[in-house]
Structure 1
Amino acid sequence: MMGPRQEAQAALFYEFSLEDHVPQDNLLRSIDWFVDLNGIRAHLADFYSHTGRPSVDPELLIRMLLVGYCFGIRSERRLCEEVHLNLAYRWFCRLDLGDRVPDHSTFSKNRHGRFRESELLRHLFETTVARCIEEGLVSGQRMAIDASLIEADANKQNSTPKEEWNVSTIDPADAPRAVREYLDTLDEAAFGAASPVQPKFTSHSDPASQWTAARKGPAFFAYSDNYLIDTDHGVIVDVEATRSIRQAEVGSTKTMLRRVKDRFDLHPERLIADTAYGTGPMLGWLVEQKIAPHIPVFDKAGRSDGTWSRADFEWDAENDQYICPEGHALKQFRRNYSDPNRGPTGKGTARYRALKEVCQACPSKARCCPNTDAPKITREEHEDARQVARDIAKTRQYDTSMKLRKKVEMLFAHLKRILGLGRLRLRGPCGANDEFLLAATAQNLRRLAKIFPAPQKPCKA
């Protein structure tokens, strides 16, 4: 028989518990197990006034932001609506059914103010990394580095060609926040000082973003999200926002390695990266830091015409010379200089040459130097470090490292496809840095929750 019509009946009293209505296997229960926000109020104490109306609890704002970045809720307006309606979100944010959800404008006010002034989001990220280390997910022996392009909140229609862009005409007092941040970062290695080359177009709304066509498609404005990860479990140990050019991305590697050394006393045995990080200065710096570069060497010395390349000549370090396949020596200097300023400096690029009369009588001249009288080989300042990387590339450990490098690429795929961070919502270097820090924190928390699910309570009878 058909049952009675279901109608909502108002009641005077309700007995309702959010704890009982959030499933035991809900992801937020495991995330909550690892979220440590006990030090937030002490961290922000100096940035609040001792008088006036009480503010919104900063822990509530951080918990709401974590919900948004863990579940790909990009809009803060929508985030407030979801927390208002979703029981699991209310439970995680410590909100009862009758508690009011903060207005979306509260996030902007705190983000542009005390959150950035106190570097709270960096503190939150590093607290999460420390928890990963405590749980044994980070050994610090093998690390990988990579960067990914994240589209900026800017478009070509509101931009200026480089010929018409003039920084001196900008009045910082009347400029928007993103433009002021751009002016502040002109001398930073991650942004303005990374390269003297000006981009083809500069955005009016976010001039620090880089006009790039690195994806081999239509160009767009973007920032680079740089991840330094521990390859044991794919934990992100540091993150940095930079311009989307190779110089800035490679330069951020030094910044992040120094920071994890200072904050967590982590010094990797090896660093894994792609060819973009295989430049001579970068490899030289890694070797100086006693870090094995498991990185393909960025080398353009190879030839496609069948003639001998630099790799076919043997380096004789003891005598500072190259030996050709026919056994002839290529030297940089063939006599001793009484004036040390005219001799070898040990810096920059050195050129090694063979004797003309020897090469003219050599039977292999057609394969060595068919268009010149004698071969010339250049040797860079960091060629020893480049050779270290070449020797490592011949080992089995290098093959393993190339497989482990995919872990950082998988993190970027997760960032864009699951967390929905394919385009930035905030503008300026600070906005990009805030979003990258929150996203990396969310990814680490999800990794902790996946490996160590929260213990489930027995169901009530």
Structure 2
Amino acid sequence: MMGTQSAPTQLFYDFDLERHVPDNHMLREIDRFLDVDGMRQKLRPFYSHMGRPSIDPELIVRMLVIGDVMGIRSERRLCEEVHLNLAYRWFCRLGLDAKVPDHSTFSKYRHGKFRESDLLRHVFEATVERCLKEDLVSGEGFAVDASLIPADANKSRSVPASEWCPDVAREIGSRAAQEYLDTLDDAAFGAASPSQPKFVAKSDPAAQWTRAEESRPYFAYATNYLIDTESSVIMDVEATRAIRQAEVGASQTMLDRTERRFGIKPDWIAADTAYGSSENLGWLVKQRGIIPFIPVIDKAERTDGTWSRSDFKWDEESDQYICPEGHALRRFRRNYSDPNRVKKTGGTYKYRALKADCQACPSKQRCCPNMDFRAVTREPHEDARDFTRSSRKTKAYAISRNKRKKVEMLFAHLKRILNLTRLRLRGPNGAKDEFLLAAIAQNLRKLARLRPRAPRMEAVA
């Protein structure tokens, strides 16, 4: 006989929400690592001791964490999911009948107390501290990289860069336009490069018109990750314009902030060629004492079969290069009584061989077949570049290349699992908020996976 389902007619129910959340649920694991007490201490100075109680900021943060951990990109949908899902209600401490806040509450908190107190940065750093406490960070080697995230801007509502100026941004008057004006002198945004993009979006002027490989141009921001390669813990995150200069500057900012905040400085750092400029390598080697496992940006190598600069031996004591045939290439050929004439000031120097030596040299066709004499340039921080080149010959360099891929895997996880394929918020502050929340979610998921609770033992009758 076919059965039928009928609605229960009980008037009272004995319902325990705690029992309906599985022991192995992701949110149950994450709940152990989310620091709420520190968040309340951070926000207390921004609340008045008078007036009606506000919506609990802990509830807002917990809902935002759910959204990023579970890949729920819409805040309207997030409110609906929290209303319906028992595990979400348990995580947010809502019980069965508590009211879920309206989606507009997120904007009020985001543009108000959260940004005034820099709360999301505090929550992110609290997750890093928990990773340190759980021994997930070795501090030996770091990796850094950047990934482009499309902005909430459209080409059809953009203007050519020639028609754009700060006065146009002031006329627009939107929050994103005001944030653009506020970051014109910021090294991560307006001051990152004097060059202007081809187009500027009216809805989000700070977004960079750029093009990734094998894709159409679009407006984007760059999320920069600094990770510890032991367990892929994100040590710091920074939002910048989608250009190389801003990304390199962000790596230095994150290294400084990590040492200042957690007292950790890595022995070495791995990155791709974009971070191999002479200025960055000089900063890492001379100022920070960090071994850079980074390919050097070098345009002096020749591909026509003639000798490159690397074939010439550098003589530091005599300030000269020695060619493979033993001839000296010098900056000056006379002795100056004024030492300031030969003082190095940090620019690019040219070292020249004698014309007579080159004309009589049997290897002239391999060295300078189209010139009367050979000249070699020496870039700023060339000693740091030479040290970086020598580091490539070590076994540790090959190991760092494999570990560097972990940061790329985090970006893939960010876009495919957490669904951060396009920003919802506009302006530099909106990008910072979304990137911080995503990094918080990834670190919490890392803690839940690598430090799970001990399985609960059932009593045996």
| TM-score of the aligned structures, taking structure 2 as reference length | 0.97
Is the partner of 2:37 in helix, strand or coil?
A: coil
Instruction: Quote the residue 1:219 is aligned against.
Output: 217
Instruction: Quote the residue 1:68 is aligned against.
Output: 67
CA contact (8 A) 2:206 2:241 kept: yes
Instruction: State the 1:49 CA deviation.
Output: 2.4
Q: Distance in 1 between matches of 2:39 and 2:455?
A: 28
Number of aligned residues: 459
Letter in 2 for 1:225: T
* RMSD over equivalenced CA pairs, Å: 1.2
Q: Distance in 2 between matches of 1:53 and 1:11?
A: 38
Instruction: Quote the residue 2:177 is aligned against.
Output: 179
Pairing 1:441–2:440 present? yes
Instruction: Quote the residue 1:422 is aligned against.
Output: 421
Instruction: Quote the residue 2:45 is aligned against.
Output: 46
Instruction: Quote the residue 1:157 is aligned against.
Output: 156
Between 19-28 and 240-249, report the one with greater CA deviation: 19-28
Instruction: Quote the residue 2:165 is aligned against.
Output: 166
Structure 1 regions of 5+ residues with no counterpart? none
1:286-305 matches, cutoff 5 A: 286-288=284-286, 289-305=288-304
Is the partner of 1:34 in helix, strand or coil?
A: coil
Q: 1:460 to 1:28 in 2, by over 3 A?
A: farther
Pairing 1:257–2:272 present? no
Q: Distance in 2 between matches of 1:214 and 1:187?
A: 26
Is the partner of 2:387 in helix, strand or coil?
A: helix
Is the partner of 1:55 in helix, strand or coil?
A: coil
Instruction: Quote the residue 1:27 is aligned against.
Output: 26
Pairing 1:266–2:295 present? no
Q: Distance in 1 between matches of 2:436 and 2:169?
A: 30
Q: Distance in 1 between matches of 2:109 and 2:459?
A: 41
Q: Percentage identity across aligned positions?
A: 64
Q: Aligned to 2:275, which of 274, 277, 287?
A: 277
Q: Distance in 1 between matches of 2:214 and 2:298?
A: 22
Question: Per-residue CA shift, 1:1-30, capped at 9, x if unaligned?
Answer: 333x21112422111011111111111111
Q: Distance in 2 between matches of 1:169 and 1:43?
A: 37
1:172-211 matches, cutoff 5 A: 175-211=173-209
Q: Distance in 2 between matches of 1:52 and 1:215?
A: 55
CA contact (8 A) 1:181 1:430 kept: yes
Instruction: Quote the residue 1:326 is aligned against.
Output: 325
Is the partner of 2:371 in helix, strand or coil?
A: coil
Q: Distance in 2 between matches of 1:376 and 1:234?
A: 46
Question: Per-residue CA shift, 1:149-178, capped at 9, x if unaligned?
Answer: 001000111111111112134337x61111
Instruction: Quote the residue 2:410 is aligned against.
Output: 411
Instruction: State the 1:459 CA deviation.
Output: 4.7
Is the partner of 1:52 in helix, strand or coil?
A: coil
Question: Per-residue CA shift, 1:182-209, capped at 9, x if unaligned?
Answer: 0000001000111000010001000001
| TM-score of the aligned structures, taking structure 1 as reference length | 0.97
Q: Distance in 1 between matches of 2:291 and 2:441?
A: 30
Q: Distance in 2 between matches of 1:52 and 1:460?
A: 50
Letter in 1 for 2:2: M
Question: Per-residue CA shift, 1:354-395, capped at 9, x if unaligned?
Answer: 001110111111111111111111101200000010000000
Question: Per-residue CA shift, 1:95-126, capped at 9, x if unaligned?
Answer: 11111111100001000110001000000000
CA contact (8 A) 1:29 1:454 kept: no
Q: Distance in 1 between matches of 2:459 and 2:114?
A: 42
Instruction: Quote the residue 1:310 is aligned against.
Output: 309
CA contact (8 A) 1:229 1:408 kept: yes
Is the partner of 2:48 in helix, strand or coil?
A: coil
Between 204-213 and 343-352, report the one with greater CA deviation: 343-352
CA contact (8 A) 1:33 1:454 kept: no
CA contact (8 A) 2:81 2:88 kept: yes
Instruction: Quote the residue 1:113 is aligned against.
Output: 112
Q: Distance in 2 between matches of 1:199 and 1:438?
A: 28
CA contact (8 A) 1:223 1:242 kept: yes
CA contact (8 A) 1:346 1:381 kept: no
